[in-house]
Amino acid sequence: MSQIQYTEDQIKSLDWKEHMRMRPGMYIGKLGDGSSPDDGIYILLKEVIDNAIDEYVMGFGREIDITLTDGLIEVRDFGRGIPLGKVIDCVSKINTGGKYDSQAFKKSVGLNGVGTKAVNALSEFFQVFAVREGKLKLAEFSQGELIKDAKIVKTDEPNGTYVAFRPDQEIFRQCRFRPEYMETQLWNYAYLNTGLKIHFNGKTFHSRHGLLDLLTKKTSQEELRYPIIHLNGPDLEIALSHGDLYGEHYYSFVNGQFTTQGGTHLSAFREAIVKVVRDFYKKDFDSKDIRASIVTAISIRIEEPVFESQTKTKLGSQNMSPTGTSIRSFVGDFLSRELDNYLHQNPAAAQALLKRITQSEGERKEIAGIKKLANQRAKKANLHNKKLRDCRYHFNEEKVNDELRLATTLFITEGDSASGSITKARRVETQAVFSLRGKPLNCFGLTKKVVYENEEFNLLQHALNIEDSIDDLRYSQVVIATDADVDGMHIRLLLLTFFLQFFPDLVRNGHLYILDTPLFRVRDKQQTIYCYSEGEKQAAIKKLRGKAEITRFKGLGEISPSEFKDFIGENIRLDPVVMRDDTRIDQLLGYYMGKNTPQRQVFIIDNLKIEKDLEAEQAPAAELETELADA
């Protein structure tokens, strides 16, 4: 074994931008391509908007203008503007900012002086200007390097700060911003900052009633058992109700930051709601029955928050301030007072809540015996079959770093050949494979009892570890990987029905995806091109202009592991399953997966006509394909 040298030459010192570019995951979590709401490009956007929001919170500027044009993001606020002599330092000198002064930014999100520096370092183009008292200072950067340092000039522009950036394609390969994710992000800012107007590509995001507006938009009155309860006090706002969907649904925020993984404030709420309900009804209900089907939004503002990661998705602080009241007692006291008062003053809501709790209690007792047997079967199955080829790291392991946790993926596929190809090609550290046997059951309209009675569903929920709570989910990305044929599409629909019916919060929280695999391989002796659509195939044939060999992939098992490695590696294409705010799950599933109806028959016939029209349009292309292939 050769000796590895360890001398002064091996010791390196990186400047701020080199370190950020070499280890971006330390600053923005996973990189991604924009197909997931927690991908790095949205963290970059958040870092810029957070600064504008902090200005509004401090009482400066009531509007923010944001545009997205060909991958370039522009954010303009009308706050005080960065002090002109410090514009370059604030976006390029680490640990520099105005938020170290706790009086100036008492309850801010960004307190570590990193935010816009990371945006700067990870952008191929970054421009900033600040306006104060009729004077403007502008600077431009590329990959963190200063390329333009303009002199201070006079201007008629109103006070404020402007930042434009384009994520660096060397870091974020094939990335693109998805407007639907951006709009969700902007709505959250609007709900948490009532009165603020955010303009984005011609749309305005504005809220007058805060979290009440959020829950109203996320639900419908038909889904809820009683009208949304809206409780508002100093530094704490809560909106809650109960519905009919399975699971617990939470939208939690700290100082305007969407804490997707919750934290101490959400734990305090979940504990407090149980105590208040038990005390009000003077009955020792099971906590699971009290929280079953709850939908809640909670926003708290604290001094100098401590998060468990740079991306600020989970609150770690125990107290409201370094020397203040504990978050647990603050939330508990507020809920004990305000929710108890509400239930006494609104007996109809109190009766509806009691009815929902007792219904959950009955359902839980009904499946208790079945659940015990199902758990025994699941343990036995894990010992004697290979349905789950697990990975080494998991999403619910706090000891694992953010980059690894967010990369953890479970591919759900059907059949030995497909699962075998993915298993051989996967990254064993972060990618797992679950193999289905045949088509799953259409579970629309069924109760959760079927999840325990059906072996496939039971083993799947155990593999995901979501039987008791979505908080225990073992994989950040749950990917449906089925064949590109009619049977594969049917299996995909049945799995979507399963998740939407019984685990909708898995979808709402952005964990469910569809794997996009190539439909065609077009190659000659020099080059191989994988195509994901008919249009890409035609372009590939035209590009090769020779004796092209064309292969149509119908099953995942037809793709060799060596080829598959590329499709589930750096070049993976995932289509997120996005649930819009106006999505009504019962109506959606009832239409597509319920009993056949005249309306659905018309829908199918209309879409068959579209398919025929597409085939007619593609006929000349098919002739071109034959002509080029034979050339």
**CATH number of the domain where residue 167 is located:** 3.30.565.10
Is 285 inside a domain boundary? yes
Report how far apart, in Å, the C-alpha atoms of 224 and of each of 240, 244, 295, 419, 625 are.
Answer: 10, 7, 9, 40, 55
Strands 477-480 and 409-414: parallel
One domain, residues 297 and 311:
yes
Among 175-179, 239-243, 612-616, the minimum mean pLDDT is found in 612-616
Bridge partners (DSSP) listed for residue 431: 409
Tell me phi and psi for residue 260, to 5 degrees.
-65, -25
Domain boundary among 205, 228, 255: 205
pLDDT at 608 over 80: no
Among 120-124, 218-222, 255-259, 285-289, the minimum mean pLDDT is found in 218-222
Is 185 inside a domain boundary? yes
Is 378 inside a domain boundary? no
Residue range of the domain that includes 182? 16-205
- Residue bearing the bigger pLDDT, 235 or 564: 235
pLDDT at 205: 96
3-state secondary structure of 328: helix
pLDDT bracket for residue 624 (50, 70, 90): very low
DSSP E strand boundaries for 143-233: 145-149, 153-154, 160-167, 197-200, 203-206, 229-233
One domain, residues 105 and 89:
yes
Task: Average the pLDDT over 6-14 and give the result.
Answer: 63
One domain, residues 170 and 126:
yes
- What one-character DSSP code corresponds to residue 523? E
One domain, residues 471 and 522:
no
Report how far apart, in Å, the C-alpha atoms of 370 and of each of 367, 377, 403, 453, 458 are.
Answer: 5, 11, 38, 7, 11
3-state secondary structure of 404: helix
Q: Tell me how far apart the alpha carbons of residues 219 and 375 are, in angstroms, rounded to a whole number.
A: 33
Is 380 inside a domain boundary? no
Look up residue 263 and give its amino acid.
Answer: G
Span 231-284, pLDDT tens digits: 999 899 999 999 888 888 899 999 888 888 888 999 999 999 999 999 999 999
Domain boundary among 188, 205, 222: 205
Task: Average the pLDDT over 381-387 and give the result.
Answer: 62
Tell me phi and psi for residue 73, to 5 degrees.
-100, 135
Domain boundary among 205, 238, 272: 205
Tell me phi and psi for residue 271, to 5 degrees.
-75, -45
Tokens of 126: 């970054």
One domain, residues 443 and 355:
no
Four-residue CA torsion sign, 557, 559, 565, 569: negative
Q: Tell me how far apart the alpha carbons of residues 577 and 496 are, in angstroms, rounded to a whole number.
A: 9
Strands 72-77 and 160-167: antiparallel
pLDDT at 5: 66
**What totals of helices (H) and strands (E) does the chain contain, helices first?**
21, 23
First to last CA, the chain: 55
One domain, residues 464 and 501:
yes
One domain, residues 172 and 158:
yes
Q: Tell me how far apart the alpha carbons of residues 145 and 116 are, in angstroms, rounded to a whole number.
A: 14
- How many structural domains are present in the chain? 4
Q: What is the mean pLDDT of the chain?
A: 84
Closest C-alpha to 294, from 264, 312, 274: 274
One domain, residues 179 and 300:
no
Task: Average the pLDDT over 389-413 and give the result.
Answer: 87
Span 190-239, pLDDT tens digits: 999 999 999 999 999 999 999 999 999 888 777 789 999 999 998 999 99
Is 348 inside a domain boundary? yes
Report how far apart, in Å, the C-alpha atoms of 445 and of each of 448, 508, 580, 622 are.
Answer: 10, 20, 21, 43
Number of Cβ within a 10 Å radius of residue 167: 26
pLDDT at 383: 47
pLDDT bracket for residue 605 (50, 70, 90): confident
Q: Tell me how far apart the alpha carbons of residues 242 and 248 are, in angstroms, rounded to a whole number.
A: 9
Whole-prediction pTM: 0.74
Q: For residue 467, what is the domain's CATH number?
A: 3.40.50.670
Residues in the chain: 631
E strand or H helix that includes residue 610: helix 598-630
Q: Are 520 and 530 in contact (CB under 8 A)?
A: yes
Is 3 inside a domain boundary? no
Task: Average the pLDDT over 113-139 and give the result.
Answer: 91
Is 372 inside a domain boundary? no
Q: Tell me how far apart the alpha carbons of residues 198 and 200 are, in angstroms, rounded to a whole number.
A: 6
pLDDT bracket for residue 78 (50, 70, 90): very high
| DSSP codes joined into one string, 477-495 | EEEE---SSHHHHHHHHHH
Given the structure tokens 């419908």, which residue do they identify? 220
Q: At what angle do helices 455-464 and 347-384 cross, to 10 degrees?
A: 100
Q: For residue 238, what is the domain's CATH number?
A: 3.30.230.10
Residue 578 makes CB contacts below 8 A (sequence gap 6+) with 180, 181, 510
Q: Tell me how far apart the alpha carbons of residues 602 and 610 are, in angstroms, rounded to a whole number.
A: 13
Span 506-517, pLDDT tens digits: 888 889 999 988
One domain, residues 24 and 160:
yes
Q: Tell me how far apart the alpha carbons of residues 236 and 347 are, in angstroms, rounded to a whole number.
A: 25
One domain, residues 504 and 522:
no
Strands 160-167 and 197-200: unpaired
Spell 1-26 as b/e; 16+ CB within 10 A means b: eeeeeeeeeeeeeeebbeebbeebbb
Q: Tell me how far apart the alpha carbons of residues 84 and 132 are, in angstroms, rounded to a whole number.
A: 7
One domain, residues 408 and 496:
yes
Q: Tell me how far apart the alpha carbons of residues 624 and 622 are, in angstroms, rounded to a whole number.
A: 5
One domain, residues 29 and 114:
yes
Is 370 inside a domain boundary? no
